[in-house]
């Protein structure tokens, strides 16, 4: 929607781009189905602990 926005955000030093893997897509999909907005669904997924040791929040 805004030309050059992705490049700008990707170049910010304090931003970490996190891939939405299968588990994330499944979680976000379930949240969307329950009426949660997609942006909030992504944030919820990233805040939850994972089996690979991420504890949620800032890691």
Instruction: State the pLDDT at residue 56.
Output: 56
**Residues 23, 50: Cα–Cα separation, whole Å:** 9
Global pTM reads: 0.61
Per-residue pLDDT at 35: 97
Q: What was the pLDDT predicted at 28?
A: 94
Number of residues assigned to the chain: 59
pLDDT recorded at residue 49: 82
pLDDT digits (tens, 9 = 90+) for 1-59: 789 988 898 889 888 878 888 988 999 999 999 999 999 999 999 888 877 766 655 44
Contacts with 12 (C-beta within 8 Å, 6 or more apart), sequence order: none
Q: Could you give the count of Cα atoms lying within 13 Å of 34 in the half-sphere of its Cβ?
A: 9
């Amino acid at each position: 929607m805004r030309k050059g926005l992705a490049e700008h955000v990707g170049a910010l030093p304090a931003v970490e781009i996190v891939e939405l893997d299968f588990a994330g897509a499944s979680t976000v999909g379930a949240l969307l189905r329950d009426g949660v907005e997609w942006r909030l669904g992504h944030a919820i997924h990233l805040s939850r602990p994972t089996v690979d040791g991420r504890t949620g929040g800032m890691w």
